Structure 1
């Protein structure tokens, strides 16, 4: 069957769109919760009578738990089935949300955020793998282009939603807002999402790999966070220990005769390596910018969280428009063309932020964010389609886990690294906050150039359909 004469079954029908909508609810909750709490830091600090540095662990603990959970997603889906794993992950996330709302101290809130993050870390990779399995290679591109916009919208909508909630309700509703969404997701998934059976190849859990990979990533991110806070000794120990553990995992993954938690050899197989690099840098750019911009709008321009969220809204509008564009062109345009074009747009939309010291008006920044959002939507979905359409169905859970891990690590490491750069530039620029942020955005621009270099190695053509 040629690529130009796809059978009727390749059409994205209402049933598949319904499944995509249900599964994307999980991703929406998990990615929104990573940012929705950020605007409530001041409120939580006052509520629990602690310092900003102490309450910041509410965000850091969630992020570390997500990073720790993602690597196990592939094995869990293989062992217990995609839908069952996804449903349990939603349940764990909702339990964590309820406990967070009932927290009586900053310490208890941090502990419950870890539980919430463990569930949230499993939702995007298991949901994507399950959706790709149900859709099949011929329809993966179009359906992924629909759901991939959610992680791009969440950093934009999270602060806006958090500010809106705190405007009308007490802080526990930052977490209780997840309950109706999660309950609807569970009920709808049990009725409409098909059960994908576990893998026939039952493999033992890679305990040694898990001990090295997940804690190694968490310790590395924690070390970088300590750098941002100016604590030199804990930072050096954390970064060094994290890198040693990750190096140990790579050696273990290459030598073990069992199936590793994530196979390092995947990254040497084209187009997986180039795709992973693109998602790694995209995560750093998206979440790094999501960290920088609300901070700049509130400290540099004196905006409220609500006003900062409104100024960020054009990026969400651009991402939605880009998702529609990708959905209509992903089967007709070469994947590399879409990705390279998207990176070029992100580059163009980032350049104005390197000139913040020149006093750029809000309409210019809003236009730049619109262009950035459009470009970001043209990167993630085509990259995932390249991988998902070229890999055997039984390998989808582990491949999805690896890609989401790279995107998550890119976001967390990128955010921590940019925080370090920003701290250094603020110290160097003294009272010139605008120029300090402008200096930091040159690093974001550098990340985009690195992604562009990796994207040139992506395939020119679509995978052949059976």
Structure 2
């Protein structure tokens, strides 16, 4: 494959930044689209006259498509070329976005979201492949810092953008906005990305794909169904999780037999990769789970609008933007084992504030805590990823990064599901209101009515209760959030265990080892 020259200078030059512009555009679309739809779920319920369980599939379908395509991306990039595959991913994503905007039913929207997910799932992995080949191993920390900003801004920018588009225009625009941006990105990619000539690569592991991709999809579907079902013992939860886990276990046992498995688990013999992967998994569980709780608290307990809730959590993104470039530069010069613990301590300190939250906690205090957590997040995830990549040889990077992609996806799904179930369970312990039943016949609790009345005050006319009942319900809801934040805080503390084993001495990058021996070309780095 004809690859662009690998730059060796320490500075990120204009040529690399030009390529980065293409990748950032794709990353912004892909990552924002994951979170921007969350604020539209109530609108989908109203427009399509669907249940919450049905509209939640617009999120689940996208996630499952991501999980399915991740294992294929590394092989496809080697086989067909990164530039043409990246443009195909852009085209799929943009086409899927346009189709979503034309949906006339919730079923159509779910199907179109799958198309979006197939394209979106390849954008970040392929983007990182292209960028690593252009920038070279000596600047990978700063490269991660540049492209990591959209990854952390997605959970913050999505609710703000989605709330504004829905309030000011219609729900169609949360998808239509991707069309012009995607068109620009396509032209930009065609002009700016270096040409590549695909060549025959290692044989594709079809049997492994038939086990791993459906296995991951089934397992993540089961995990994603836990919040709706409210328990792991629900039939559709445990059956799909068990079937998915069985397929994944079968793949694990099988993967040591072929010479080129779809996912090379032999790489876990690499201590550096194993420690970084475990650190990242535990961190993602806490980060993504807590990321769901912040806007929910402002919406459900404080009664803020979607746009206001998004703006209130923006300090987290600002904090991340400040420290991420600094952390990227440090990751190229200072062992991550000496910097990440301090960043994680900032996250833990912010979590402590939220464990004390009540129905009237000062917004200044909460926004300050989010800002401090953002400072920590900007100095945690990208250095851990940099450490993992530096530990791999050139030939192993594509397979190793695929492992990291899947670990992130599983950790994200588990974090969201666990925090959702814990919060729902705590809220359900609220005192029932005598004689008040919801449409399904279940008792309405004080916390449930208080939360619902924050968004729809007319409910208090349908279920006339004393003001003290609503106040009690909001206090109880705040306590439920605080109790759930304690769980998140505990997971953050657990992350200190694996990061204690991160390198504390200067790390030598092994990304060019194979090339120096004449054994190959720069290997792609994929991260999602």
TM-score range with shorter-chain normalisation? Answer: over 0.9
Structure 2 distance, partners of 1:277, 1:180, is 39
Contact 1:322 1:374 in 2 (8 A): yes
Name the SS for the 1:229 alignment partner.
helix
1:57 aligns with 2:57: yes
Cα offset, 1:91, TM superposition: 1.0
What is aligned with 1:173? 173
What is aligned with 1:4? none
Structure 2 distance, partners of 1:324, 1:82, is 26
What is aligned with 1:437? 481
Residues 230 and 186 of structure 1: CA distance in aligned 2, closer, same or farther (over 3 Å): same
Name the SS for the 2:508 alignment partner.
coil
What is aligned with 1:348? 349
Cα offset, 1:17, TM superposition: 1.7
Gap regions ≥5 residues in structure 2: 1-6, 432-446, 448-475, 513-528
What is aligned with 1:3? none
Contact 2:285 2:411 in 1 (8 A): yes
Contact 1:335 1:386 in 2 (8 A): yes
1:76 aligns with 2:76: yes
Residues 266 and 428 of structure 1: CA distance in aligned 2, closer, same or farther (over 3 Å): farther
Name the SS for the 1:355 alignment partner.
coil
Structure 2 distance, partners of 1:428, 1:242, is 32
What is aligned with 1:280? 281
Contact 1:126 1:401 in 2 (8 A): no
What is aligned with 2:126? 126
5 Å matches for 1:129-168?
129-168=129-168
Structure 1 distance, partners of 2:242, 2:430, is 29
What is aligned with 1:246? 248
1:97 aligns with 2:141: no
Cα offset, 1:286, TM superposition: 2.6
Q: After superposition, what is the alpha-carbon deviation per residue over 1:259-312, rounded to whole angstroms, capped at 9, x for unaligned? A: 111111223312111111222223222321221111121111111101101110
Contact 1:283 1:414 in 2 (8 A): yes
Contact 1:429 1:435 in 2 (8 A): no
5 Å matches for 1:330-341?
330-341=331-342
Cα offset, 1:419, TM superposition: 1.2
Name the SS for the 1:148 alignment partner.
helix
Contact 1:61 1:113 in 2 (8 A): yes
Cα offset, 1:404, TM superposition: 2.1
Structure 1 distance, partners of 2:130, 2:279, is 22
Structure having the larger proportion of residues in helix: 1
Structure 2 distance, partners of 1:57, 1:358, is 31
Instruction: Work out which of the two has the higher radius of gyration on C-alpha atoms and give 1 or 2.
Output: 2
Cα offset, 1:427, TM superposition: 1.7
1:233 aligns with 2:235: yes
- What RMSD in Å do the two structures reach over aligned CA positions? 1.9
Gap regions ≥5 residues in structure 1: 1-6
Name the SS for the 1:170 alignment partner.
coil
What is aligned with 2:450? none
Structure 2 distance, partners of 1:460, 1:391, is 17
Structure 2 distance, partners of 1:265, 1:427, is 45
Structure 1 distance, partners of 2:254, 2:383, is 31
What is the count of residue pairs matched by the alignment?
458
Cα offset, 1:164, TM superposition: 0.7
Cα offset, 1:397, TM superposition: 2.9
1:32 aligns with 2:76: no
Cα offset, 1:394, TM superposition: 4.0
Name the SS for the 1:262 alignment partner.
coil
Contact 2:222 2:236 in 1 (8 A): yes
Structure 2 distance, partners of 1:197, 1:141, is 28
